[in-house]
Amino acid sequence: MNRRLIWLAVILFVCSVAYMSVGARGPLSFVLPFRGAKLAALILVAVSVSTSTVVFQTVTQNKILTPSIMGFDALYVLILTGAVYSFGGMVVFGFSDQFVFAVSASSMTLAALILFSTMLQSAKADLLRLVLTGVVLGGLFRALTDFMQRIIDPNEFAVIQGASYARFSVLETDLLMIAAATCIISMILLWRMRFALDVIVLGREAAVNLGVNVKRTQLLVLMLMSVLVAVSTALVGPIAFLGLLVVSVARLVTPVEQHGVLLVSASLISAITLIGGQTILERVFRLSTPLSVVIDLLGGALFLILLLRGYRR
């Protein structure tokens, strides 16, 4: 298992070097910090997405759900729009990105906690109803966002519309420091919970029997996960199926239920997908299609396959 992780790390290193160097023009002193910041942002996003997906799947006890399928990142964009609405667009966007991020991320955590902990409880028996609710809620959040943006001011519409599609080429590097700090803290906390998470996989009864406080763990995980979703969405925008894609691949590459392994391999695969994919798409093939659209296509197909496989007649 460890050898596979090392291989993944090597591949990631190669991808990063390629990302930094392929097609670089101009003096190194300019290219390195410019691309370095982007690389750091991509890694942050990759790790946030994979980690939030792994822990979400553990807490909800299934392998096809991800925070974005359940509408979490759509919720973040909605909250961001709400922030613009309450503070007045020009002020927020001109004034301080960090401030908006802090406000949005904390309201997101609160909203997600309220919404999804009640939803998880009420729909515990019926996974399909839960998923369908999530998908429809995601659509609702997107529609509400669109609706609000047009209400706020049709002129400013363009400003936020940019923020509601994922793009990996233009990254919000201003937010990098605060995003990195929040992300790293959340990850350390989640990493320390990895053994409790291993136990939760066995089921609620078994976990209680082994002395894990399931409810508290679930709430804490949901909270940290919301923060991670906020980080990745703030940096690049919503990415519907990346989490599902990379975690499913990670479960194939490292087929163990230990979070100590799974969290690492999923993060590595996620980073490889983003950085390698971005390098190939943007620098090698020069496709005009953003990577997020390609990931959505692949991930959507995978989701469909997983659904059909799980419920075959």
Partner 1 sequence: MMGWYWAGVFSLALLSFCSIFIGVIDLSVSDLWRDPDGLHLIAISRFPRTIAAVIAGGALAVAGCVMQMLVRNRFVEPMTAGTGQGAALGILLVTIFAPQAPIFLKMMLASATALFASLGFLAIVRRLPPKEPLLVPLVGLVYGGLIGASVVFVAYQADLLQFISVWLNGEFSGVLRGRYELLWLAALGAGFTYFAADQIAIVGLGRAITTSLGLSYGQVLLIGLISISFISALTVVTVGIIPFVGLVVPNIISRLFGDNLRRTLPLIAMLGAGLTLASDIAGRLLRYPFEIPVGSVLGVLGAFVFLGLLYRGQRYE
Q: Name the site residues for partner 1 (rule: CB under 8 A).
A: 126, 128-129, 131-133, 135-137, 139-140, 142-144, 146-147, 150-151, 154, 240, 287-290, 293-294, 296-297, 300-301, 303-304, 307-308, 311-313
Angle between helices 97-122 and 72-87 (to 10 degrees): 130
Residue number, 264 or 290, with CB nearest to partner 1: 290
Kindly state the smallest distance separating residue 304's Cβ from partner 1, in Å. 5
Residue number, 185 or 301, with CB nearest to partner 1: 301
Residue number, 164 or 265, with CB nearest to partner 1: 164
Angle between helices 242-253 and 28-60 (to 10 degrees): 80
Kindly state the smallest distance separating residue 245's Cβ from partner 1, in Å. 13
- The token duo for 144 is 């509400």
- Distance CA(200)–CA(218), nearest Å, equals 9
Kindly state the smallest distance separating residue 33's Cβ from partner 1, in Å. 30
Residue number, 126 or 174, with CB nearest to partner 1: 126
Length of the chain measured in residues: 313
Strand segments, DSSP code E, in the chain are: none
- Distance CA(124)–CA(136), nearest Å, equals 17
Phi, psi of 80 (to 5 degrees): -55, -45
Residue number, 130 or 207, with CB nearest to partner 1: 130
- For residue 93, the surrounding DSSP H or E stretch is helix 89-95
Residue number, 234 or 240, with CB nearest to partner 1: 240
- Distance CA(294)–CA(277), nearest Å, equals 9
Residue number, 26 or 154, with CB nearest to partner 1: 154
- Give the C-alpha distances (Å, rounded to integers) separating 128 from 123, 271, 307: 9, 30, 10
Residue with tokens 């369908």: 132
Kindly state the smallest distance separating residue 164's Cβ from partner 1, in Å. 13
The CA angle 237-239-101, to the nearest 5 degrees, is: 30
Longest pairwise C-alpha distance within the chain: 62
Kindly state the smallest distance separating residue 117's Cβ from partner 1, in Å. 17
Q: Which of 238, 271, 245 is nearest to 40 (CA)?
A: 271
Residue number, 98 or 161, with CB nearest to partner 1: 161
Kindly state the smallest distance separating residue 230's Cβ from partner 1, in Å. 23
Angle between helices 259-278 and 2-21 (to 10 degrees): 20
Residue number, 148 or 178, with CB nearest to partner 1: 148
Kindly state the smallest distance separating residue 290's Cβ from partner 1, in Å. 7
Kindly state the smallest distance separating residue 251's Cβ from partner 1, in Å. 20
Cα atoms in the 13 Å half-sphere on the side-chain side of 201: 16
- Distance CA(292)–CA(244), nearest Å, equals 13
Kindly state the smallest distance separating residue 32's Cβ from partner 1, in Å. 30
